[in-house]
Structure 1
Amino acid sequence: MPENEGQPRPPHHPHDKGYRQLLADKRVFLELLKTFVREEWVAAIDENDLILVNKSYVLQDFSEKEADVVYRLKTRDKNVIFYILLELQSTVDYLMPFRLLLYMVEIWREIYNNTPQGERESKNFRLPPIIPAVLYNGANNWTAELSFKEMLDGYQNFSGHLLDFRYLLFDVNRYSEEELVKAANVIASIFLLDQKARPEKLVIRLQKLAGAIKTMTPEEFRHITTWLKHVIKPKMPTGIQAKVDCILDANKPWEVEQMISNLEIALDEMRQEILLQGKLEGKLEGKLEGKLEGKLEGKLEGKREVARNLLLLNVDIDTIIKATGLAPEEINALKKQLEQ
């Protein structure tokens, strides 16, 4: 067993941080599987058999690329040990099937190296299955290939002879609001709150989740408020962030309606401040424009006065143009006025 199993690794990407911390809780990870994966093997997983693998499977060929979340587990009925490898993405990575394959090979390599030679060379030695998955919260559709063979040129010509696997895709923004509200658990609530929307939409979504949140344990509720503070709050205007912190710190699951009401008030105050700021800026801009126009008009009138005096002295028009910078048309117009 790898050293430090059961403890989350420190994340180093902003998008990873929220989901890594969230999915380090095996209850939430199991919720993810049982809510969104409709396969028989999921039903055979028990929470007590989930072990978070705190090991960095770094790909030497990909700078700053490493496996995000890896769980070691076994099925309840057959006691088969297997792994789930979950990658976190906020942008589409077209190399994802290849990256997942490399991570899987690294996990198998470690298991092979940690197995006694006599055991691994026996007829009955088997490598554990690894189920690859991607959690994606980007705004655009996930357009990378879903199976490994589709990355191979002309794979249709070699049917039955090629390595292949198909990874699970959890696409946050493609789940319907109805489906997420109906699930009524932590991971579905987080997905709904993470879907792209303006801050005002956040209050509406929280209102729809209120019934589920009220029944959550304090630990589950902490996941929701932590997510709001560290992932959603930074997307809000700076002026409201400190107030949001205070609101989230002061509430418990059964006080969720009060929390939502306080957030709504804070957002309304933010809108009023933005409107007031806009009006003040408009007035200030009008005053500045008026002063600038006055100065420009004064300078122009001064040039015209110089041109009139030079015309009265019978100075030629070309000289007056050079002296004042006025256009020939304007000087001719001044000349006609003097001749009337």
Structure 2
Amino acid sequence: MSELRRSHDSAWKYLFSSPKVVHQLLTRFVDDEVFSGVTVEDITPFDKSFVSDEFLDRESDVIYRVRSGDRDVYIYVLIEFQSTVDKSIPIRMLHYILGLYDQFYRTSQAGKLPAVFPILLYNGNERWTVPRNVRELIEPAIAERYIPSFEYYPIIEQDISDETLERIHGILAAVMYLDKRRDDTELRAAIDRVIDLLAGERPEQFLMFGVCGSIAAAIDFPPGSR
């Protein structure tokens, strides 16, 4: 992994270290009623102290606990930075969540395991063609009830129009808007729009955008475009 790519990964992880950004993700980019009444105060970082280092290092992950009504729901976000499509994503995500459940089972005294909502955030250039359900990757040679069924929620950056990002606004929309620019000309033209997208954000969010936005813009410019 190049140093610039590593910085890009770290920038996105830094962005999602903010519960406010996670709140924007759940309420503005995820269309599911379970998050409709969630507030920033309902979102807390996942306590990773009981999870082994080997398990945590397997993926570029974001995990939060979200209070939804009278229950806790966990969200797992896989941030996929590869420029090409990885067809193993559904299997990787299922594997990660099963590992997470194993950790819960070993350490929790609760009767049932908590629900985990899986989200894929993909910002590669290739069109995303991977099935949403792992079942579609398995030959239907046996009864369907014996074949695993696991579905993730895809957020594909290139499929989100600029108009949609402008309507959504906020720091996450601003970083995505900048991340979609492909050369200096597009970047310069985007500055005013990005400022509008950040209207209403607190000063600390502007600082966070300064770190994440600059790296997001730099990483995706092809050689010779600058």
Counterpart in the other structure of 1:248: none
State the AA in 1 paired with 2:71. V
| Aligned match for 2:72, one of 55, 70, 81 | 81
- Cα deviation for residue 234 of structure 1 reads 6.1
The Cα offsets for residues 214-261 of structure 1, whole Å up to 9 and x where unpaired, read as: 432211212222123333246679xxxxxxxxxxxxxxxxxxxxxxxx
Q: Which protein has the bigger strand share?
A: 2
Q: Is the 8 A contact 1:71 1:84 kept in 2?
A: yes
Equivalents in 2 of 1:205, 1:146: separation in Å? 32
Equivalents in 2 of 1:58, 1:101: separation in Å? 19
| Aligned match for 2:119, one of 133, 140, 146 | 133
Counterpart in the other structure of 2:167: 182
Superposition map of 1:264-283 within 5 A: none
Superposition map of 1:1-340 within 5 A: 13-53=6-46, 55=48, 65-75=58-68, 77=69, 79-91=70-82, 92-116=85-109, 125-154=111-140, 158-233=143-218
Q: Is the 8 A contact 1:135 1:171 kept in 2?
A: yes
Bigger radius of gyration among the two: 1
Q: Is the 8 A contact 1:172 1:191 kept in 2?
A: yes
- Cα deviation for residue 15 of structure 1 reads 3.3
- Cα deviation for residue 197 of structure 1 reads 1.4
RMSD (Å) for aligned C-alpha atoms: 2.6
Tell me the TM-score normalized by structure 2: 0.84
Tell me the TM-score normalized by structure 1: 0.57
Equivalents in 1 of 2:148, 2:72: separation in Å? 22
Decide whether aligned partners of structure 1 residues 217 and 126 sit closer, same or farther in structure 2, where only a CA change above 3 A counts: same
What is the number of residues matched between the two proteins? 215
Q: Percent identity?
A: 22
- Cα deviation for residue 179 of structure 1 reads 0.6
Query: Whose relative contact order is higher, 1 or 2, with alpha carbons under 8 Å and at least 6 apart?
Result: 2
The Cα offsets for residues 146-184 of structure 1, whole Å up to 9 and x where unpaired, read as: 1111121116x5234432121011111111011111112
In the alignment, structure 2 segments of 5+ residues that lack a partner are: none
Decide whether aligned partners of structure 1 residues 158 and 49 sit closer, same or farther in structure 2, where only a CA change above 3 A counts: same
Equivalents in 2 of 1:128, 1:222: separation in Å? 34
In the alignment, structure 1 segments of 5+ residues that lack a partner are: 1-11, 238-270, 275-340
Decide whether aligned partners of structure 1 residues 150 and 233 sit closer, same or farther in structure 2, where only a CA change above 3 A counts: closer
Decide whether aligned partners of structure 1 residues 145 and 138 sit closer, same or farther in structure 2, where only a CA change above 3 A counts: same
Decide whether aligned partners of structure 1 residues 209 and 231 sit closer, same or farther in structure 2, where only a CA change above 3 A counts: closer
Q: Which protein has the bigger helix share?
A: 1
Equivalents in 1 of 2:108, 2:199: separation in Å? 48
Decide whether aligned partners of structure 1 residues 236 and 154 sit closer, same or farther in structure 2, where only a CA change above 3 A counts: closer
Equivalents in 2 of 1:175, 1:233: separation in Å? 20
Equivalents in 2 of 1:158, 1:192: separation in Å? 45
Equivalents in 1 of 2:34, 2:10: separation in Å? 28
Moved more, 205-214 or 37-46: 205-214
Decide whether aligned partners of structure 1 residues 149 and 142 sit closer, same or farther in structure 2, where only a CA change above 3 A counts: same
